[in-house]
A and B are shown apart, each in its own frame.
Chain A
Amino acid sequence: MEGSSKKESWLEKDFDVVIGGGGIVGASIFRELSRYELNLLLVEKEEDVSSFGSTIANTGIIHGGYDPIPGTLKAILNKEGKKLWRDLAQKLNIDCEFNGVLVLAYNSEEEKILYELYDRGIKNGVNVKILKKNEIKKLEPNLKETYTLGLISEDAGTIDPFIATINIVRSSYENGGKVLLDTEILEVIREGESIILITNRGEIKTKIFVNSCGFFGKKFLKDETLIFPRRGEYLITDKNLKGLISRPIFGVPSMKGKGISITPTPHGNILLGPTSYIVKEYDTSSTLKEREEILEKVSSFIDFNFFPYIIRDFAGVRASSKTKDFIIEFEKDSNVLHVQGIDSPGLTASPAIAKLVSNLIKEKIPLVKKKNFKETLKPNINLKKLSKEEIDKLIQKEPSFGEIICRCELVSKGEILESLKIFPYPKNIDGLKRRLRVTSGRCQGSFCTIRILKILNEEWNVPFEEIKKKGKEGKIIYGEIE
C-alpha cells in the first residue's frame, strides 16, 4: 500500500491533516495526532522515512535546555521535550543514554559565559549545576585538565535519532495513520477552509497541512528568505573507544551555536562535530578543511589521536531561521501550519513541538481522543539485548538468528528478515543500516553489504541491480557478467 505507484482508494478521500516530511519533527507530529480520530496522512518525498535532512545528520543529543534564550519557543519546547523523550524512548524501544551533558570553560572569559548559561538554565527552569575542576575530573578522567570550570545538565543525554524517527512512525501507523512515500509536495493551494496539495503523484485534499518538510518546506512560506541553510560536518569513530568519555562534552557556545562536541552515542561510537557554516546551497559533501577543524577543536578537550579510529565522515544541512527561534504557527487566514526553522534543539524539542502543533490544530478542528491508542511498540528482536540462554533458545526455534551477517555490529540474518516485515519497511541498504546498524561498523559494509544483497535478492525476488544503497540511482551492482 504505501509507496506503491497506483492510486489507492484511501487517497480519494479528503484528509483532516496531512503532515509533510518524514523526519523527526514530522514523525513526532504524526504520532501525537494519531491519538485522535482523524484521517491522517504523512507524506515524504524520499523512499523511506528518517532518510534525509537534519534527522540523519545530527548529534543525537537530548539537550539540557540551558542554552536557548528564556521565553523563546526553543527554551520552552526544549525543557518539555527533554522530559517527554525519557518516557517516549522507553515506550518505543529507542536506544538512549541519560548521563548528562557537560560544558567546559578554559579561562575567565569562558567562565563568564558558563555562568551566563547557568543563569539562563535557572531562568528556563532546567537542571544545571556548576562543577569545579576536581568534580569534572571525577566524571571524565580522560579529558585534558586545562579546564577551569564546568557546567553539567544531569538529565540531558543522547538517543538514536534514526530509530527514534522510524519507531515513532511505526507507532503512528499502528494507531491508524497513513504514510505516502516517494511523494513530493510541489505546491500548496489554499482554498478557503481546505487545501490542495499538488504532488508528483497527484493531488491530495486536506483540511489542514502541516509544513514540517524541513529545509525544502521553506518554499511554502510567504517569505522563504526567513530560512537559510547551515552546514555541519561530523566524524564518527568505531566502538573501540567506548568508555573514553561518558557524556557529550562541549566548550562554551559562540555566535555559531553550541560548537563542536565529543559525543558518545548510545551504541558506543564517538561523534565529533559538528562544524557550523552558513552556506548558499544544500550541500552535504564533506571537506578536508572542516575535518581538520573538528580534530583541532577536539584536541583542546582531550589529548587523544582519534584519527585511526575514524570510520566515516558526514555532513548535514540544518534549516535555521532569521527569527533565531522555531517558527510554529498557522498562516494568517489559511489552514497551513508551518513548522519551520527547526535547528538545534530540534530533536530534543520534537515531542513538545508535536504537542504544541496538536494544540494549535485543536483551535481549527475538533480533536476527539481515540479510545484504544496504543502507547507502546512490540520490541524487535535484538541479539545485543539478550542473554546467551535466550539467544540459544531463539536460534533453536529459528536458526537464522544464529547466522551473523554483519560481523562488526553482530547482526543476524534473522534480525534482517524480521526488519523487512516491520512497517515502515526498509527500502535499501541504508534503510537497513538505520534500523539495524548493519554496514555502520568498522568495515563500513565491506563484509556484509553483499551478504545483505543476497538476502534481499531472495526475499524481494528482484535482480541485484535493482537493490539500492540509497535513492533511485544508488545501485551497487550493474548486473551479471556476460
Chain B
Amino acid sequence: MVRLNNFDLAIIGGGPAGLFLAKEAKKKGLNTIIFDREERLGGILKQCIHTGFGVEIYNKDMTGPELIEELMEEVLNLGVPYYTKSMCVGFENNKLYFYSPKGIIELSSNYYAFSLGARERARGSLFIEGSRPSGIFTAGFAQYITNILGLKIGEKIAILGSGDIGLIMARRLTLEGMKVIGVFEIMPYYGGLPRNIRQCLEDFEIPLYLSHTILKIEGEERLEKIYVSQVDENLKSVGLIKEFNVDALLFSVGLIPEIDILRKYLLINNKTLGPIVNQYFLTNIPNTFVIGNSLIIFDLVDKAMKSSLNVLDYILKKRKRDLEEVKVIQGNLIRNFVPQILIKDGEKTKIYFRVKEPIFNKEVILRENEKILSKKKFRALYPAEMSEIEIDTNLIDKNEIIIEVI
C-alpha cells in the first residue's frame, strides 16, 4: 500500500481544469498532487486535435494536445507530483483510495478537488426501437478511435444529436474519407456552437436535419439501417419515415458530469446533474470541491480552467462556510447554473448559466422578490453557450435570489 499524506490540495483528474488548478495552486505555495486514471495526463483534450483552445488564457488558438503540452510543461517545471493509471475507487474517513499498478494508494490531504470530466449519454438514455448491433458509438468514443488510434469506425455514418463533439466528428470523419450522411437533431435548433455548425457542417456540405430523430435501428450483428422521422413541436414523429443505409451511428446527445465516486455523499443538482456547490465550488462534503465538467458541462475549455481558480480563492483567503447562505433559484428560460448556493461573505462572484432555448435581445437578471440585483443584456444566446452574470453578495438581503430571462 502506498500511503501519501500531508498534502494541501489533491486534484483527482488531470484534464485541463485539474492541471490548471494544480499549476496555480503550486505557484501560490500549496503542496499539491495530481491523480489521473489514464496513462497520460491531459484528459479529453488529448483526442481533441481541432483548434479552438487556449484563446482566453494563453491568447492563442491551439489544438487540444498543444494546450495540454503547454500546461503540462508548466506543471512539471513547478514540480507538482502526479500519479497516472490511478483510479479513484473509494472515499472513506476523509481518505481517498486508488487502484494503480503500483498497488493501492491511500491519500490524505487537507483539500480535495475532483475534476473527473464528463460521461457521454449513451443509447440507453434514449428510446430507440430495434436491434442492438455493433457500430453504435458515442461521439467521443469515436473521436478516440479515429484520432488516437487512427482506426476506421465505418464507411457510411449517421450522427444523432448536434452537440459540439458530434459536429466536430462529422468534419473529422469526412476529412478521413468516410461518408457522413447527415446530422439528425430532434430539437428545432442545433445543440452545438454556431461556429461549429459553419465550420464542420456547412463547409463540408453535410446535411443538418433539425426536428428529426432516429426511430429504429436495424442490423443483427453490425448496424445496417436507420429509420429517421421528422418530429412535431411535441417531439413526436409526424409519420414520414426515411430510411438510410449506414454501418455506423454516432450519438452526440449530451454529456453528464462524472461524479460517481462521490455519489453516495454528494447532494446533486437535478438540472446540472453535478453537485450542488457554493461560489467557491465547495460541495456539501467538507473541504471537497468539484470543478470542470464534473461540476457542470462547460462550453469552452478555457472557462472550465479559469473558473477552477474559485477553489484557490477559498483556500488561500481562508474563507468560512459557516456564514449566512443564499439559495439561487431557477427562473424563466434558465436551463441550469452553478453555483446554487452563495455564501454571504461580502465578495463579488459569478453565476454560470445556460438558457433553455435560443433567446434574442433579452436580459438575464438576478433578483430578490422584485428588486433586481444584477442584469446583463444578450443580443443572441444559444442553449449550447454558457454565459455568466456577476453578483455582489453585499447586495443580497433575503435568503433566496432568482435567476431568469426577461
Contact = CB atoms under 8 A, between A and B. Distances in A.
B151 A403 contact: no
A474 B131 CA distance: 12
B101 A399 contact: yes
Contacts of A402: 85, 99-104
Most buried by A among B127, B155, B177: B127
A482 B177 contact: yes
Interface stretch (B49-57, B116-124, B326-334): B116-124
Interface in B30-55: 37
16 contacts: A291-B127, A310-B124, A313-B127, A392-B104, A403-B85, A403-B99, A443-B138, A446-B122, A446-B140, A446-B141, A468-B221, A469-B134, A474-B221, A479-B151, A480-B152, A481-B151
B71 interface: no
A8 interface: no
Nearest to A295: B127
Nearest to A396: B103
Interface in B94-121: 97, 99-104, 119-120
Interface in B174-228: 176-177, 218, 220-222
A481 B146 contact: yes
Nearest to B120: A446
Chain A interface mostly: mixed
Given A444-B123, A477-B151, A480-B151, A471 B101 contact: no
Given A288-B127, A444-B123, A447-B141, 6 more contacts: A404-B89, A442-B122, A454-B149, A464-B149, A475-B134, A481-B146
A442 B119 contact: yes
B103 A404 contact: no
B240 interface: no
Contacts, number: 139
A458 to B, nearest CB: 13
B346 interface: no
B221 A471 contact: yes
A404 B37 contact: yes
Contacts of B372: none
A479 B152 contact: yes
B144 interface: yes
B239 interface: no
B1 A392 contact: yes
Q: A-B pairs with the 8 shortest C-beta distances?
A: A469-B134, A474-B221, A399-B101, A471-B221, A473-B221, A311-B124, A404-B87, A478-B152
B99 A404 contact: yes
A284 B153 CA distance: 25
Contact of A444 (B1, B87, B122): B122
A13 interface: no
Contacts of A392: 1, 103-104
Interface string B147-159: 0011111110000
Interface string A447-482: 101100010000000001000111111111111111
Contacts of B394: none
A308 B270 CA distance: 11
Contact of B104 (A287, A391, A474): A391
Contacts of A11: none
B99 A477 contact: no
B220 A473 contact: yes
B176 A472 contact: no
Contacts of B154: 478
A412 B134 contact: no
Contacts of A310: 124-125
A233 to B, nearest CB: 11
A474 B222 contact: yes
Nearest to A313: B124
A442 B177 CA distance: 32
Contact of A446 (B102, B138, B149): B138
A388 B97 contact: yes
B124 A400 contact: no
A254 interface: no
Contacts of B138: 443, 446
A314 B145 CA distance: 26
A101 to B, nearest CB: 26
Nearest to B215: A288
B73 interface: no
A311 B130 contact: no
A291 B126 CA distance: 12
B241 to A, nearest CB: 14
A168 to B, nearest CB: 25
Interface in A303-345: 308, 310-314
